[in-house]
Amino acid sequence: MTSSIPCVNSSLLPHDHDHRLHNAIKALTLLHHTPCERPLNAASRLWRLPNVLPSPSLSPTALTPPSPASICQSVVATALAAGYRHIDSATAYRNERACALAIAASPLPRSSIFFTTKLPPKLRGYRRTAAFIDGVLHKNPELEGYIDLYLIHAPYGSSADRLGQWRAMVEAQKAGKIRSLGVSNYGVHHLEELKKWQSDQEDGGVLSVGQWELHPWLPRKDIVDWCRREGVAVQAYSPLVRATRQQDPLLMPLVEKYKKTPAQVLLRWSLQMGFVPLPKSVHEERIRENADIFDFELTEEEVRALDTGRYEPCCWDPTKEKI
């Protein structure tokens, strides 16, 4: 990595977390939305409060047993009470309903909460996608008729399947059912496939967000560079590497220097890389701890040193899926 890494300067991180912080993060994570009741910028909602973005699930993949709905609902309630405003859900996590109930039970207005969910990895094509989006909204009236961000969870299936999914999502966005569109786990070849299709359409929609497993041992330079060129916001799932690197020699000097936990150092690195990190926890103290990363800053040298350039995923990796 070079010195062009988009870092958030400490001068933009006052203890009172004023509008300068909001504007700094907004500049890094600007998302494109269709017009709605009032001008909507998702980034301002994602980062309105001084925290990183929680995922209320226990797993980023459909391959791990989902958390019981009762646990998920209480975790979301705890996170919202702690100041979090983005809930990263998915049909595959089996927690959409629990998240919607937690949103409804919160004293916060729906408009202040940014809700993400994802198309199931095994669902294929245009018609099934269109029907499925309607089903999510029908089953979860607490969402008040719209999803803030909808992602294709994985690039499985044929090119026609993927492009059909995207076309259905674009139409749902035009109908006001979705505010922003994105993909998850796409490789550069999948991203290029979508870009080419969009260029051939009168209105092929806007790719606003991409979500990948990202951390120092999986920085995905090719994908991140592509997103930066195309103006796509990058979300990082498993930024804590599923707690498998807590004692890593790369982290220990920084933990000692800044008097922070390994998780906080990893989240700070993710932020300074320009990512939107999505930490996960069921413990209230860790939920609050994960948000306490705005009172220190890694140097550019430290950010570069943590970018190992390795390929060591801790989850699945559909980016390798062939077209």
Could you report the per-residue pLDDT of 123-159, keeping only the tens digit for each? 999 999 999 999 999 999 999 999 999 999 999 999 9
The DSSP bridge pattern shows strands 86-88 and 276-278 to be unpaired
Domain with residue 178: its CATH number is 3.20.20.100
114-119/276-278 β-pairing: unpaired
The answer to whether residue 323 sits within a structural domain is no
How many domains in the chain?
1
Active site (annotated) includes residue 186 = no
Q: Among the options 84, 93, 150, 186, which is catalytic? A: 93
SS3 of the chain: helix, strand, coil, percent, to 5? 45, 10, 45
Which ranges constitute the DSSP H helices of 144-297? 159-174, 188-199, 221-230, 252-258, 262-272, 284-291
Which range of residues forms the domain containing residue 288?
Answer: 10-311
CA distances (Å), 103 to each of 60, 142, 183, 190, in order?
20, 7, 24, 33
Smallest Cα–Cα separation from 89: which of 109, 125, 114? 114
Q: Is residue 322 part of a domain?
A: no
pTM: 0.82
- Cβ atoms of 195 and 227 closer than 8 Å: no
Q: Judge whether 32 lies within some domain.
A: yes
Q: What is the pLDDT of residues 44-88, one digit of tens each?
A: 233 322 223 333 322 222 112 236 667 888 888 888 888 888 889
183-32-55 Cα angle (round to 5): 50
* pLDDT tens figures, 20-44: 333 333 333 333 333 333 222 223 2
